[in-house]
Amino acid sequence: MPMRRGAGCKPNPGAIKERVSLVGWAAGGMASLWAVRPRTLPHDGMPDFRSAVALYPACRRLGELAWSARVPTLILIGGADDWTAAAACEQMVAGAKGRSALASLVVYPGAYHEFDRHDYPLRELTGLANTADGSGKAHIGTNAAARADAMTRVPAWLAK
């Protein structure tokens, strides 16, 4: 759904519109990907977002809808993520070729969901509504190499 300015939603006069980027984790990452689709162009002709970053988003549904990005978009996901599968993001980005050259995908081998969380031991969650294999089980935890790369890569992406 496109965002609209309305009652209670006023632009920040101190914001530099050309410098606003979206960054989201998990469901927030998915929301960032939805927000940068060409169908959600601003209605007033003014720029809304400079770029976007999505960390371990669920890409399956967006891939089915032929997702593409209208602003440079960085997607970071763990290769071992069993909550939001990297394969779905790989398919989504590959499917956007020709419609969008604005997406960059980094898959971290061996990293699970929440790989960037500081000093968080690997653990299994159960009873989840949506997991990659439908089992309701998924793993989360820090991956030191993936975290270190993301902590360097994201600020560099946003500074472009």
Residue 114 lies in a domain: yes
Provide the mean pLDDT of the chain: 88
Average pLDDT over residues 59-70: 91
Q: What is the pTM of this model?
A: 0.87
CA distance 98 to 114: 31
Full residue range of the structural domain in which residue 147 is found: 18-159
Residue 13 lies in a domain: no
Average pLDDT over residues 90-107: 89
Average pLDDT over residues 42-63: 86
Residue 64, pLDDT above cutoff 80: yes
Residue 3 lies in a domain: no
Measured in residues, the chain has a length of: 160
pLDDT in tens, 117-156: 999 999 999 999 999 999 999 999 999 999 999 999 999 9
Residue 10, pLDDT above cutoff 80: no
Domain count, the chain: 1
**CATH code at position 96:** 3.40.50.1820
For residue 119, how many other CB atoms are within 10 A of its CB?
A: 8
Residue 2, pLDDT above cutoff 60: no
Say which residue, 56 or 16, is predicted with more confidence: 56
Q: What is the 3-state secondary structure (H, E, C) of the chain?
A: CCCCCCCCCCCCCCCCHHHCEEEEECHHHHHHHHHCCHHHCCCCCCCCCCEEEEECCCCHHHHHCCCCCCCCEEEEEECCCCCCCHHHHHHHHHHHCCCCCCEEEEEECCCCECCCCCCCCCEEECCCCCCCCCCCCEEECCCHHHHHHHHHHHHHHHHC
